[in-house]
A and B are shown apart, each in its own frame.
Chain A
Amino acid sequence: MTEKFYYDNKIVRNFAVATIVWGIIGMSIGLLIATQLFAPSMNLGNQYTTFGRIRPLHTNAVIFAFVGNAIFMGVYYSLQRLLKARMFSDVLSKVHFWGWQLVIVATVITLPLGFTTSHEYAEMEWPIDIGITLIWVVFGINMFGTIIKRREKHMYVAIWFYIATFVTVAVLHIVNSIQLPISAFKSYYLFAGVQDALVQWWYGHNAVAFFLTTPYLGMMYYFLPKMANRPIYSYKLSILHFWSLIFIYIWAGPHHLLYTSLPSWAQSLGVAFSVMLIAPSWGGMINGLLTLRGAWDKVREDATLKFMVVGLTAYGMATFEGPMLAFKQINAIAHYTDWIVAHVHVGALGWNGFLTFAILYWLIPRIYRTTLYSKKLANFHFWTGTLGIIFYAVPLYFAGFTQGLMWKEFTEEGILRYPNFLETLIQILPMYVLRSIGGALYLVGVIVMTYNLIKTAKAGKLLADEPAEALPLPETYVAVGSDKKLHRVLERKPMVFLVLSLIVILIGGGVEMMPTFTIESNIPTIASVKPYTPLELHGRDVYIKEGCVNCHSQMIRPFRSETERYGEYSKAGEFVYDHPHLWGSKRTGPDLQRLGNKYSNAWHYNHMLDPQTMSPGSIMPAYDWLVLQELDTTTTIAKINAMRTLGVPYAEGYEHQANKDLDIQAKAIALDLQQNNVKVKSDREIIALIAYLQRLGTDIKAK
């Protein structure tokens, strides 16, 4: 007796709308910050739209709002059909949808206000982190509820990818969000320095793996066969792909920290696994592309398949480049440059973007029971999108190579050929202009798609509840024949599957994280490294709030080209009080680790107020509001107490002395400024920032 039931298309439609809306917003912010890199005045003259604050908004909007909603759209559509069941609970679906949008709105409000943790791709402060956790659990319950009440005994490979995504993102998010709150919107990470950096990049790298990759692979394994109307090229390869990908990916994080103060064996482990990653990645790409064998005539006509082919190719390019960039020799040149920015955008624009567009073009006409409004516009979107990616990536590759090599070039006499950092930046500014043209082209394509899809939706009518029927599963399952085999059993047991995936990712994560927790004994402690003074601590928080870390690293690698330019290379022991670490991943401006005592207080003051007067040609925006805004010293006690809890050796009771010390140090700086013809009150944020900048790297600096 077959059962009748209905697929929930409305929730799929809602996530599709959210995908498009947030996609346009996220990409527009991307375009805005891209123009700021050659025209600093594009920060619109205020702190809320300045690069340091809205670059994280761009990354988070694209990752969690655009890609996140697209994932839920794809999962909610394919999961119901693969399991022959409606989603477990309509209420949970709604809570999931609106909860996720709420998290995004909270992010859009708080990041420009300067509430940031500074962990890349996880900048949201602790209340939002908790919100994400709750919504993620709702998603998990809804997904597993559906799996449990399914009418198809065996779980298709796409669902394994969804399960792995759910469980791994949960683990990553929780471990990376262990913070000690000191107020409603400020917290400090539990770990400091090297440990914090490792946790952050274990998270950061695996966010790429399990948020931007595995759910999309699951969607590829479902939607590509549907679009091409033929089964996946090799199902066996998809099994190998799944297990090897989730097993290997989780180890690769340390390749973001090559030549840093991270112990070298952890770096090597990261390199080895990164290189191995090419096998499962390309296995998956080849599996996708070969699914189209014999169907290439369709690719010529069908814009949906065109998007899939270029998306898969972009995935192949990005996953070839990843292992290459993980080689220390290549990384030495590429790290901190625009090469990395180009690399991630090939993945984001090509792989995530194009797969999302393909699925939207395929899915919207189906749930609206109509055909696509205009194939011509879809083809136009395809070509502007493809050109956009090329115009985006190629100039940045060029910029990355150029700047990376310029930083390293010595004259025959053995001195730096380009000792002024700014020279290397001005050289690549034309590339930044070209890049923003590429980004604009890509965005135009998305807007055309939006128009096309709205027209499509208007021509049809949403089939909110799509009727379907299937046989229910028997009460007790009797395995016959090959169903008794081990993996067949696994495919029937979602909870066992969940636990197994969890174990697989914890093995890699665990072995890699072990050094994080043992490292303290490995770090040669440096007696001269002392905790920050209260004023410096506040200054550090101003540095965090303004997002300085987005353009300035604090990690000098042990190369002659870097020690010549910046000074003594960074030691692990220097960062033991840094909650969080501020090593950075990109040098749009120079490294700041040894900035302390390099310039006068007045230089810093003038430079923050108008960077171009001190460094002609600089693209740094002015930070004039730091002179106007008073430093909030009411949090000093909470900050000192929190730091002590985290292991920073402030004496008991020091929190009551702290503001007095702060005042003395601030007045001394203000006095020094006054002697240099700068009049500023000692209670301003800029004083704290100057105190912090003057402290940077001085603990072990030769006097």
Chain B
Amino acid sequence: MFRQFLEQVDDKNIYLITSLGIFLGFFILVGVFLLVMKKEEVNYMSQLPLTEEEDKI
């Protein structure tokens, strides 16, 4: 299916290096997200399932 445009790339190593790059980049991004999160946001979000009152039995 994608064969036609892959055949034009001689050096397949590029995929491996790209995967590594994507992988590192991805986790750095998620890490940054977590580091900049404020405490009050975290508290607000984690309380979401507990905000309804009506189903306390």
How distant is the Cα of A485 from the Cα of B18 in the complex, in angstroms?
28
Interface contact B34-A236, CB-CB below 8 Å? yes
CB distance from A470 to the nearest CB of B (A): 9
| CB contact between B57 and one of A82, A239, A371 (< 8 Å): that residue | A371
The SS class assigned to the B binding surface is: helix
Q: Which of A152-160, A414-422, A538-546, A559-567 contacts B (4 or more CB under 8 A)?
A: A152-160
Interface contact A521-B45, CB-CB below 8 Å? no
Write out the residue numbers on chain B whose beta carbons fall within 8 Å of the beta carbon of A243.
Answer: 26, 30
The SS class assigned to the A binding surface is: helix
Interface contact B55-A366, CB-CB below 8 Å? yes
Chain B CB within 8 A of A247 CB:
yes
Interface size class of A (residues with CB under 8 A): 35 or more
Interface contact B22-A486, CB-CB below 8 Å? no
How distant is the Cα of A487 from the Cα of B41 in the complex, in angstroms?
10
Write out the residue numbers on chain B whose beta carbons fall within 8 Å of the beta carbon of A17.
Answer: none
| CB contact between B27 and one of A222, A231, A244, A520 (< 8 Å): that residue | A244
- Return the CB mask of B1-25 against A: 1 if under 8 Å, else 0: 1110011000010011011001000
Interface contact A81-B52, CB-CB below 8 Å? yes
Interface contact B40-A482, CB-CB below 8 Å? yes
| CB contact between A517 and one of B3, B30, B37, B46 (< 8 Å): that residue | B3
Write out the residue numbers on chain A whose beta carbons fall within 8 Å of the beta carbon of B45.
Answer: 154, 156-157, 235, 491
Write out the residue numbers on chain A whose beta carbons fall within 8 Å of the beta carbon of B16.
Answer: 265
Q: State which residues 127-174 of A face B: CB under 8 Å.
A: 152, 154, 156-158
Count CB-based A-B contacts (< 8 Å).
92
Interface contact A231-B50, CB-CB below 8 Å? yes
CB distance from A360 to the nearest CB of B (A): 15
Chain B CB within 8 A of A664 CB:
no
How distant is the Cα of A327 from the Cα of B49 in the complex, in angstroms?
39
Write out the residue numbers on chain A whose beta carbons fall within 8 Å of the beta carbon of B41.
Answer: 482, 485, 488
Number of interface residues of B (CB under 8 A): 34
CB distance from A80 to the nearest CB of B (A): 10
Interface contact A468-B52, CB-CB below 8 Å? yes
Write out the residue numbers on chain B whose beta carbons fall within 8 Å of the beta carbon of A236.
Answer: 34, 37, 42
Q: State which residues 329-367 of A face B: CB under 8 Å.
A: 365-366
Chain B CB within 8 A of A229 CB:
yes
How distant is the Cα of A226 from the Cα of B12 in the complex, in angstroms?
50
Write out the residue numbers on chain A whose beta carbons fall within 8 Å of the beta carbon of B48.
Answer: 82, 152, 154, 156
| CB contact between A225 and one of B12, B40, B50 (< 8 Å): that residue | B50
19 A-B contacts, Cβ less than 8 Å apart? A81-B49, A222-B49, A225-B50, A226-B50, A229-B50, A231-B46, A236-B37, A239-B30, A239-B33, A243-B26, A244-B27, A247-B26, A466-B54, A466-B55, A485-B36, A488-B41, A491-B45, A518-B2, A518-B6
Q: Which residues of B contact A (CB under 8 A)?
A: 1-3, 6-7, 12, 15-16, 18-19, 22, 26-27, 30, 33-34, 36-38, 40-50, 52, 54-55, 57
Closest 8 CB pairs of A and B: A231-B46, A235-B46, A156-B48, A482-B38, A517-B2, A487-B33, A243-B30, A235-B42
